[in-house]
Amino acid sequence: MAKKMHDTPNLDQLESGPWPSFVTGLKDLAKEKDYVVDLLGQLEESYKTRKGYWKGGTVGVFGYGGGVIPRFTELKNEDGTPKFKDSAEFHTLRVMPPPGMHYDTDTLRQFCDIWEKHGSGLIAFHGQSGDIMFQGATTDNVQKAFDEINEMGFDLGGAGPAVRTSMSCVGAARCEQSCYNEAQAHRAVLNTFLDDIHRPSLPYKFKFKFSGCPNDCMNSVQRADMAVIGTWRDKMRSDEGLAKKWFAKHGMDELVNDVVARCPTKTFQVKELNKIKSGEHITSVAVSDTHGIEINNQDCVRCMHCINVMTGALATGTDKGATILVGGKSHLKIGGLMGTVVIPFMKLDTEEDVEKLVDLAQRTIDFFAENALEHERTGEMIERIGLSNFLDAMEIDVDPAMVNSPRMNPYVRTDGWEEEVSKINAKKKAA
Amino acid sequence: MNQAVQAAAPAAKRKPKETGVPDNQKYLHPMLAKNYGNWKYHDRPRPGVLHHVSHSGDEVWTVRAGTARQMDIYTIRKLCDIGDKFADGRVRFTIRSNIEFIVADEKKVAPLITELEKHGFPVGGTGNSVTMIAHTQGWLHCDIPGTDASGVVKSLMDELYDEFRREEMPNRVHLSTSCCEINCGGQADIAIIVQHTKPPVINHDLVANVCERPTVVARCPVAAIRPAMVNGKPSLEIDEAKCMCCGACYPPCPPMQINDPENSKLAIWVGGKNSNARGKPTFMKMVASGLPNNAPRWPEVAEAVKNILRVYKEDARPWERIADWIDRIGWPRFFEKTGLPFTKYLIDDWRGSRANLNASTHIRF
């Protein structure tokens, strides 16, 4: 039995209502742990004053420079002693999840046992970067908890100016829209940079995210320095049985208004069956005895909408791979930036293909480490130096798929134009 | 810090095993492992349930339930019990902290749902529902929070509980909350983000000891911070006319307190979309600010979010995300229909802002 609870009139109000309550969870832990009794005391104070009371510091595990988020209370009595002494140290361990965040219950139970013994008993699945967050351990217990978690085969994630923990979608494990082996790519890339994860020494954070298709369930384009987003080059597949089943249920109004009208390039057409074209780039499928779909895949931008609506009736092609975008980030400090295309398509079928992705990641991080200013993300760096300079350094050929449009101003020195043209022509000849 | 720790460590200390990201194969449900990369299509028999069919003919049903994300070990063990009883001892989590149980026998779906709901885990969050809110740490653990995270989410999800358990929205709705302007909660259809309204209050006694002053000066996006001697001590001063109260100086220099119980407000942003479906991905836009940081249940924020959702649900066509819907109806109509005031602060004046102005006569009357 733990000590008596502090009054928490504010937090108590978060126990009512139908959604699972983290306050009820904390109170259950507080029945056994003075640690959590005091944590609730401090949190109640925050609710009362609308102020935060944690400060960072220096806590880590032996051999690593990051992965632990230190927290010391700033809520002090007049004599400088902590107002809530039992939770005065409340550090978090960031632990990298398996790709796709799959677990067996034995693993989760072991996590619980370790965290019951050494920590607060509060675990978050998962933090915004994807970490399993073991929240709340004293300075003395951080190493003990880490040792046991590490012996299970789990490792700390990134914090500070480091390669950060990554996430991949459920992907090939349970999604028909998967365009590459997300788990394989995720592990191959991240496990190449363990030193950069565990010993922060980059200009700033560097994030990888792996999404199996352009639905981008990992939000990689908006937040990853390197986003690996699955796509395909060949024709969409179709299945007449499923197409007819879909149409029988949804009808012509939905086909026209929800699919045809929403195709961003208007390449998706509904036609009478006898008017449907065939050809190398055409996907076609009947939806009824009179009508069918015709898609010219050369005009398709692989947005996923028709596949999302008519799952199975239409499907991705089979010549699959990924588009690589660089430079996505959130607000701080120049405003949000989307990642931009640097590799329109790369195959990721074989180990050699994945090695090429690892090599690209390695060269990108090397360039970032050498050229970014302190506290500058890749997106800001590219904005500062221009995409062409980045591509030059990375030895990546320019491609019109990298831009929304060519430049709209004349302010560029073009005295290398002919040289560039002859390089492009020589490459074309050699190919 | 790393070297300091190493230098002080006695030789007997355990060396970490740098194993990195673990292999997920052994954690996959057996049917997922068997049909890896071979799925054909899926449908949704009811809200909260996905049904996937493999090219091999195998089928699996996934039941998705909401969690608090910040979970105590008793709750996690309860979820493990449910996983053992129904789902071959395997579970997975989604990016929005929902838990998923996979079963290969359709007959297990209904009893699994009953069991989850009996223990207070709402089943839903699939398809065109309002799914669980992506969120941050807040007062519970962050060192720079303007507000709480878990409490805001709990309050809002209580209000949106039915929308989580139903699929009645025009398209999926992703929400996020962020407890400072750094926006760790991320892009979403609707996001709630702290918006500070006053420059930081500097504790000049502490700056010299706590802050690396050139770093702090460099961190300011509008060059409003400069070194200064204050009361005979090296400190920093702020050009308050330049400062736009973003709080970027606060993490590297905690004596520059940006959080203010009264003047740190909450803003609402809409129209973020990460998917490439239909239009290209979009960033969200600020549509309201000045909402009070009203713990413990933030009723003004909940009302604002519910209002936008109500209008979107009534007005948007099937498959329109909030960004797609606003593309069709236009911003004037968005503000008219939601009743939100369009103030001068919503006209972008940051870098690249002219691209956000209307350079045409395309106006809906």
Nearest-Cα residue of chain B relative to residue A29: B72
DSSP labels, B307-361: HHHHHHHHHPPTT--HHHHHHHH-HHHHHHHHT----GGGS--STTGGGGS--SS
Q: Which of A99, A38, A323 is nearest to B28 (CA)?
A: A99
Strand partners, A135: A92, A122
Provide, as residue numbers in chain B, all residues whose Cβ is less than 8 Å from the Cβ of A92: 141
Task: Tell if the CB–CB gap between B187 and A336 is shorter than 8 Å.
Answer: yes
- Cα of B41 to nearest chain A Cα, Å: 4
Instruction: Measure CB to CB from residue A61 to each of B16, B25, B134 and give the nearest one.
Output: B16
Chain-chain contact of B186 with A223 (C-beta, under 8 angstroms):
yes
Which ranges in chain B are annotated with CATH 3.30.413.10? 138-197+261-351
CB contact under 8 A, B41 and A311: yes
**What is the C-alpha to C-alpha distance for residues B276 and A89, in angstroms, rounded to an integer?**
43
- Cβ distance of B91 and A105 shorter than 8 Å: yes
Give residue B1's pLDDT: 44
B219 to chain A, closest Cα gap in Å: 8
- Start-end ranges of CATH 3.30.70.20 in chain B? 201-255
> What distance in Å separates residue A179's CA from the closest CA in chain B?
9
Q: Among B5, B185, B295, select the one facing A62 at the smallest CB separation.
A: B5
Contact A54 B142 (CB under 8 A): yes
Report DSSP state, residue B187. -
B chain contacts of residue A315, beta-carbon cutoff 8 Å: 40-41
Of B68, B141, B145, the CB nearest to A25: B68
Could you give the CA distance from residue B173 to residue B151 in angstroms, rounded to a whole number? 20
Minimal CA–CA distance to A268: which of A310, A231, A213, A215? Answer: A310
**Dist. CA A94–CA A256, nearest whole Å:** 48
Considering only CB atoms, which chain A residues are within 8 Å of B183? 330-332, 336
Distance from CA of A122 to the nearest CA of B (A): 5
Pair of tokens at residue B180: 């400072």
- CATH 3.30.413.10 correct for B138-197+261-351: yes
Q: How far apart are CA B73 and CA B89, in angstroms?
A: 17
Whether B53 and B45 have beta carbons less than 8 Å apart is answered as no
Cis peptide before B285 (omega within 30 of 0): no
- CB-based contact A52 B272, cutoff 8 Å: no
Q: Among the residues of A224-349, which ranges form H helices? A: 240-254, 305-309
Residues of A in contact with B13 (CB under 8 A): 62-63
> Which residues does residue A293 pair with via DSSP β-bridges, in sequence order?
A270, A285
Tell me which residue in A103, A173, A214 faces B91 most closely, judged by beta carbons: A103
Question: Residue A70 and residue A94: Cα distance in Å, rounded?
Answer: 11
Please tell me the distance in Å from A388's CA to the nearest CA on chain B: 20
| Closest C-alpha to A234, from A313, A303, A302 | A302
Are A174 and B52 in contact (CB < 8 Å)?
Answer: yes
- Please report residues of A whose CB lies closer than 8 A to that of B77: 108-109, 112
Minimum Cα–Cα distance from A173: chain B residue? B36
Alpha carbon distances (Å) from A32 to A27, A252, B270, B285: 9, 62, 43, 45
- Determine contact, residues A133/A123, Cβ cutoff 8 Å: yes
Query: Which amino acid makes up residue B101?
Result: F
A112: left (phi over 0), alpha (psi -120 to 50) or beta: alpha
Residue type for B109, please? V
- Are the Cβ atoms of A17 and B80 closer than 8 angstroms? no
Determine the topology of domain A237-315 in CATH.
Alpha-Beta Plaits (3.30.70)
What residues in A contact B191, CB-CB < 8 Å?
Answer: none
CA B365 to chain CA centroid, nearest Å: 35
Report pLDDT digits (tens) over B291-317. Answer: 999 999 999 999 999 999 999 999 999
Separation between Cα atoms, residue B249 and residue A53, nearest integer Å: 18
pLDDT less than 70: residues of chain A: none
Parallel, antiparallel or unpaired: strands B190-196 and B175-178:
parallel
Nearest-angstrom CA–CA distance, A361 and A357: 6
| Shortest distance, CA A58 to any CA of chain B (angstroms) | 7
Question: Which residues, including other chains, have CB under 8 Å from residue B91's CB and lie 6 or more apart?
Answer: A102, A103, A104, A105, A108, B79, B80, B83, B99, B100, B101
Rg (alpha carbons) of chain A, rounded to whole number: 27
Chain B residue numbers with beta carbons less than 8 Å from the beta carbon of A90 are 141
Main-chain phi, psi angles of B205, to 5 degrees: -70, -25
Q: Where are the domains of chain A?
A: 9-151, 167-233+320-430, 237-315
Q: Are B85 and B114 in contact (CB under 8 A)?
A: no
What count of Cα atoms within 13 Å lies in the side-chain half-sphere of residue B102?
Answer: 27
Closest residue in A to B294 (Cα) is A50
Distance CA A112, CA B81 (A): 13
pLDDT at position A334, please?
83
What is the pairing mode between strands A282-286 and B49-54?
Answer: unpaired
Residues of chain B with pLDDT under 70: 1-11
Q: Check CB contact under 8 Å for A128 and B92.
A: no
Which of B4, B121, B248 is nearest residue A332 as measured by Cβ atoms?
B248
Q: Return the CATH fold of B201-255.
A: Alpha-Beta Plaits (3.30.70)
- Which residues are within 8 A (CB) of B174 and not within 5 positions of it... i.e. 6 or more apart? B96, B131, B134, B188, B189, B190, B272
Sign of CA dihedral A240, A245, A246, A248: positive
Q: Could you tell me the fold of the domain covering A9-151? A: Alpha-Beta Plaits (3.30.70)
Neighbour-count burial for B28-38, b at 16+ CB within 10 Å, e otherwise: bbebbeebbee
Binary contact (A176, B39; C-beta < 8 A): yes
CATH for A167-233+320-430 is 3.30.413.10
The alpha-carbon gap from A125 to the nearest alpha carbon of chain B, in Å, equals 5
Q: CA B18, CA A64: separation in Å to the nearest integer?
A: 10
Please give the Cα distance from B40 to A311 (Å, whole number).
9
> Strand order in A268-272's β-sheet?
A268-272, A291-296, A282-286
Instruction: Give Cα separations from B357 to A338, B267, B268 (angstroms).
Output: 20, 21, 20
Distance CA B328, CA B316 (A): 9
What does the alpha-carbon distance between residue B256 and residue B269 come to, in Å, rounded to a whole number? 26
> Do residues A258 and A208 make contact, with C-beta atoms less than 8 angstroms apart?
no
- As a whole number of angstroms, the distance between CA B259 and CA B138 comes to 12
Alpha carbons A176 and B98: distance in angstroms, whole number: 20
**Kind plus residue range of the DSSP H or E element containing B44:** strand B39-46
Nearest to A109 among B80, B102, B248 (CB): B80
Which residues on chain B are in Cβ contact (under 8 Å) with A112?
73, 76-77, 80
Rounded Cα distance, A15 and B258, in Å: 30
Nearest Cα of chain A lies from the Cα of B228 at a distance, in angstroms, of: 23
**CB A17 to CB B145 under 8 A?**
no
Q: Do B41 and A176 touch (CB under 8 A)?
A: yes
If you count them, how many residues does chain A have?
431
- Which residues are A226's β-sheet partners? A208, A326
Q: Do B71 and A125 touch (CB under 8 A)?
A: yes
Which residues make Cβ contacts (< 8 Å) with residue A399, sequence separation at least 6? A341, A344
- Asked if A9-151 and A237-315 have one fold, the answer is yes
Residues of B in contact with A222 (CB under 8 A): 186-187, 272, 274, 281, 283
Query: What are the chain A neighbours of B90 within 8 Å (beta carbons)?
Result: 102-105
How many CB atoms lie under 10 A from the CB of residue B355? 7
- A419 token code pair: 């040289």
- The beta-carbon neighbor of B73 closest among A69, A100, A121 is A121
> What's the rounded Cα separation, in Å, for the pair A232 and A344?
10
Q: How many CB pairs under 8 A join A and B?
A: 375
Q: Which residues in chain B are classed under CATH 3.30.70.3340?
A: 25-118
Q: What is the C-alpha separation between A33 and A21, in angstroms, rounded?
A: 19
Task: Tell me the CATH class for B25-118.
Answer: alpha beta
Per the structure block, which two tokens stand in for A259? 């699919």
3-class secondary structure, A303: coil
Chain B nearest-CA distance from A264, in A, is 5
pLDDT digits (tens, 9 = 90+) for A193-251: 999 999 999 999 999 999 999 999 999 999 999 999 999 999 999 999 999 999 999 99
- Among A52, A65, A101, beta carbon nearest to B143: A52
CB-CB under 8 Å, B24 with A100: yes
B174 in Cβ contact with B281 (< 8 Å): no
d(CA B264, CA B147): 9
Distance in angstroms (rounded) separating the CA atoms of residues B92 and B105: 18
Of A71, A191, A315, Cβ closest to residue B143 = A71
3-state secondary structure of B275: coil
Out of A52, A153, A175, name the one closest to residue B145 (CB).
A52
What's the Cα-to-Cα distance from B68 to each of A379, B65, B98, rounded to whole Å?
A: 33, 10, 9
Joined tokens for residue A420: 């560039």
Tokens of B152: 């805001």
CB contact under 8 A, B93 and A126: yes
Residue contact B40–A197, C-beta within 8 A: no
Q: How do residues B135-169 score in pLDDT, each as one tens digit? A: 999 999 999 999 999 999 999 999 999 999 999 99
What gap in Å lies between CA B204 and CA B233, rounded to an integer?
7
**Rounded-to-integer distance, Cα A283 and Cα A295, Å:** 5
Nearest to B154 among A19, A304, A335 (CB): A19
Distance between CA atoms of residues A197 and B20, nearest Å: 9
**Are A215 and B277 in contact (CB < 8 Å)?**
yes
Question: Which residues in chain A touch residue B186, judged by CB atoms under 8 angstroms apart?
Answer: 128, 219, 222-223, 330
Question: 3-state DSSP call for residue B43?
Answer: strand
Minimum Cα–Cα distance from A311: chain B residue: B41
